[in-house]
Amino acid sequence: MLKTSQEMSHRTPLPKVCIALGLPTASELCEHARRELEGGERFFEFRLDYLERPETGVEAISRFLGEHPDTTILATCRRHQNQGRFNGSIEQQLKILEAAVAAGAKGVDVEIESAESAPSILDPLRGQTFLLISYHNFTSTPPLEALLRRMTRIPADAYKIVTTPRKPSDNYRVLSLPRAHPRVSMVVLAMGEMGFSTRVLSPAFGGLYTYAAPHAAEGTAAGQVSARQLRHCYRVEKFSRTARIYGVIADPVRHSISPAVHNRAFQARRIDAVYLPFLVHPNQLKDFFLMAEKLPVTGFSVTIPHKQRIIRYLDIVDPLARRIGAVNTVWRKGGKWRGANTDVPGVTVPLSKYLRLPKSSVLLVGNGGAARSAAFALTDAGAKVSIVGRNVDRVRALAKNCGAEPLLLKQAETQNFDAIVHATSVGMYPHSNECFFNGRIPGDVVFDMVYNPLETVLIQRASAQGKTVIPGLQMFLEQAAHQFELWMGESAPRPVMERAALDALAPRT
Ligand code: NAP
């Protein structure tokens, strides 16, 4: 006798990560599934609507399950009217899904629009398979309670809600739905770069499972994450429901290596926490705090373009960070948001290994956010600081603010400094063959803040000229280690963090 779908879903819970596979031919579909299988994955969504001939997917399911009976396949054949690629009628769609179930698919995903077309249309599937009713919204996140009421009018094993967040707090609305309805089985996700955190957090917030892209597609679309990243970087199956949440806010945020570095540090210290990239647009800081208080977020790194504006949302700001006018580290303690600037030790600690800062002469290049932190950090430490940059007025203003001397490049080039701190984006990926200095580099120690690439042209030229060099990764690791220490109250696992940063910055093969 056939088991009911309820029995099947209760007895064999679904794996936490489902790989969505959409390929043009059945052989490519099976080939990609096999590759994921070799990587340890066991749960696949076969997008039959992506196949040039969707009916060939039925045979593919049967063949694949014959070879790999321990895998779970969910079949989807979404109609083009509902953002899928299937061009047939609802009846034809359901015929294909019924055949997929007969071929062994454990579940089917039927979009709400098809399911609502007639009350009895899903009857042949009910009791035969795990029936998932899905809703997709590619433009916004509508009121979710009303949506869930609409969806649960159709009896099913689970409901999938996938929306597009327009602001950070939309993610919280999506994530909080399963906890508010513990008796309803749900899969919830928000799409795109802004929704990334939901892909990691949804299982911990009561979602049945989350979706990942195939490894081959890693990084091809904003918000996409591979199962390997979900498991190894974000440890989606390991952190508990009460894990602390940390992250980085930035715009853009996708390039950040901080998630790789901090998650590896948490892992090394067995800390039940996860660190996520949060895309926050310049006018969305207030909304981010709404989400941060509710999720809750315990602490976060701050980078371009929020380092200055974040200060107005904080309750307590470290005095030096306030004077600099920039915060890169935030955490919540005793109900208050606190801020500090760990770029300061990021500059002074590596430099102090090579020279005594008080009274040393330092040429600072640049007048942006990082230069500003360095200017205050160095003058505070007693160094005699001179500043150059391409915008003379901004250089003068910064120099005046922190008690440094503004210089023109041609003046600086005739002198020699104990150290040079380069704080512009010149030489940074993808413009990696650029360098601020063309001839002699007028300093004994050359510190380049740029860390991508790991060895910049400036560092190469300085080494060739016999200078002592400090690559930007040292600053990155120092500021990250101080963040860890502020958040955790214990010393940071620096070698582990360095390894993670090197892995994250290694060119992809
Ligand atoms: P930012 O606020 O955007 O400032 C960029 C600076 O670069 C400005 O002074 C800008 O001059 C200057 N600049 C840009 N293109 C230039 C060019 N072609 N010629 C001369 N000057 C140019 O950025 P930031 O936060 O200060 O970051 C600056 C660099 O430091 C970036 O590469 C960043 O990755 C790096 N950084 C590294 C760490 C670390 O941990 N290692 C930490 C922070 C920053 P204008 O004002 O004239 O536009």
Block means of pLDDT (10 residues each) for the chain, length 509 residues?
39 84 96 95 97 96 97 97 95 97 97 93 93 97 98 97 98 97 97 96 96 74 82 91 95 94 98 97 97 97 95 97 96 97 98 97 95 96 97 96 96 97 95 94 98 96 98 98 98 98 84
At a CB cut-off of 8 Å and minimum separation 6, what does 231 contact?
17, 237
Ligand 1 pocket check for 373: Cβ under 6 Å: no
Ligand 1 pocket check for 232: Cβ under 6 Å: no
Q: What is the DSSP string of 376-418?
A: HHHHHTT-EEEEE-S-HHHHHHHHHHHT-EE--HHHHTTS-EE
pLDDT at position 10: 37
Secondary structure letter of residue 196 according to DSSP: H
Cβ atoms of 55 and 235 within 8 Å: the answer is no
Ligand 1 pocket check for 424: Cβ under 6 Å: yes
- Supply φ then ψ for residue 136, to 5 degrees: -125, 135
pLDDT at position 508: 61
- Tell which one of 425, 435, 451, 475 to mutate to probe ligand 1, the residue whose CB is within 8 A of the most ligand atoms: 425
Q: How far apart are CA 75 and CA 56, in angstroms?
A: 12
- Assessment of whether the complete model's pTM goes beyond 0.85: yes
Residue among 445, 453, 452 at smallest CA distance from 470:
445
Place of tokens 């061009």: 87
276-to-204, 257, 262, 337 alpha-carbon distances in Å:
14, 11, 9, 18
pLDDT at position 13: 81
Residue among 148, 230, 135 at smallest CA distance from 182:
148
pLDDT at position 277: 97
How far is the centre of ligand 1, averaged over its atoms, from the C-alpha of 484 (Å)? Answer: 24
Q: How far apart are CA 235 and CA 253, in angstroms?
A: 20
Q: How far apart are CA 504 and CA 58, in angstroms?
A: 39
- Tell which one of 424, 434, 451 to mutate to probe ligand 1, the residue whose CB is within 8 A of the most ligand atoms: 424
pLDDT at position 117: 93
Where does residue 313 rank: exposed (0-12), middle (13-18), buried (19+ CB within 10 A)? Answer: middle
Spacing of C-alpha 495 from chain mean position:
22
pLDDT at position 260: 97
Ligand 1 pocket check for 409: Cβ under 6 Å: no
How far is the centre of ligand 1, averaged over its atoms, from the C-alpha of 193 (Å)? Answer: 24
At a CB cut-off of 8 Å and minimum separation 6, what does 442 contact?
363, 412, 413, 414, 415, 416, 417, 420
pLDDT at position 222: 61
Structure tokens at 169: 């707090």
Ligand 1 pocket check for 343: Cβ under 6 Å: yes
Secondary structure letter of residue 166 according to DSSP: S
Ligand 1 pocket check for 423: Cβ under 6 Å: yes
How far is the centre of ligand 1, averaged over its atoms, from the C-alpha of 387 (Å)? Answer: 14
Is 410 catalytic? The answer is: no
Where does residue 52 rank: exposed (0-12), middle (13-18), buried (19+ CB within 10 A)? Answer: exposed
How far is the centre of ligand 1, averaged over its atoms, from the C-alpha of 423 (Å)? Answer: 5
Domains, the chain, ranges and CATH?
5-238 (3.20.20.70), 245-341 (3.40.50.10860), 352-476 (3.40.50.720)
Active-site residue, from 307, 333, 336, 384: 307
Structure tokens at 230: 């979900």
